[in-house]
Amino acid sequence: MRVSRTFVVVSLVASVGAGCRSARPTTPQVAEPVVPLLQPGAPGAATRDVSVAAATDLSAVRVSAADAAFMQGMIGHHAQAVEMVALIPSRSDNPQVALLGQRIDVSQTDEMALMRTWLSDRGLPQPDPHAHHNHDAALMPGMLTPEEMARLQAARGPAFDRLFLEGMIRHHRGALTMVETLFASPGAGQESEIYGFASDVDADQRMEIDRMGAMLQEMSK
């Protein structure tokens, strides 16, 4: 019986193709890497690993009384700093002090607006930013008393520059104390927005403290 050449060729091709398919190696299944979930610590503290369940809980964090008190208190704290830098143009001839004052004015004015918006968005009361003018008012850490503000207002020239820098360094250190108190309070500082804001305040004020300390040293030479 004669076998068609076409049939032979087709049969051979099919056999070879089947052999290739059976010999093809399978692609190994690679396990997806497990990405750790990290919760940032307070300024200066280490981050920590958290479970998926814990991360879910953190996403639903609520504002605490300490969070609200921090924002309300920091508005008055910033307001006094802005009052202090407003004295510079009429009392100082030092260009470095003038530049520092401009930076503080811009940054802290913007931050006061941010804090007011944060409070408003959460239906929390707005504080009186000028309450510290009252002699019987409780002052936030580092704030100048009315008597100290009066001495600053009366000073001129290099005497003003020194009083201003010394007062503002103390003022900034008070802000650091407020941040530390916030993060030390149980359940406080966990909301993402307040955590980011308080961390920025901590970093910015530390840098300005170093800058003002260097300026005071330069004045002492």
Measured in degrees and rounded to the nearest 5, phi and psi for residue 161 equal: -55, -45
**Does residue 5 fall inside a structural domain?**
no
**Does residue 72 fall inside a structural domain?**
yes
Domain with 110, as residue range(s), is 62-219
Tens of pLDDT, residues 84-109: 999 999 999 999 999 999 999 999 99
Query: Any alpha helices (H) in the chain, and if so which ranges?
Result: 5-23, 52-59, 65-85, 88-91, 95-121, 146-154, 157-184, 192-219
**Does residue 29 fall inside a structural domain?**
no
Task: Write the DSSP symbol of residue 46.
Answer: P
Structural domain count of the chain:
1
CATH code at 187?
1.20.1260.10
- pTM equals 0.74
Tens of pLDDT, residues 181-191: 999 999 999 99
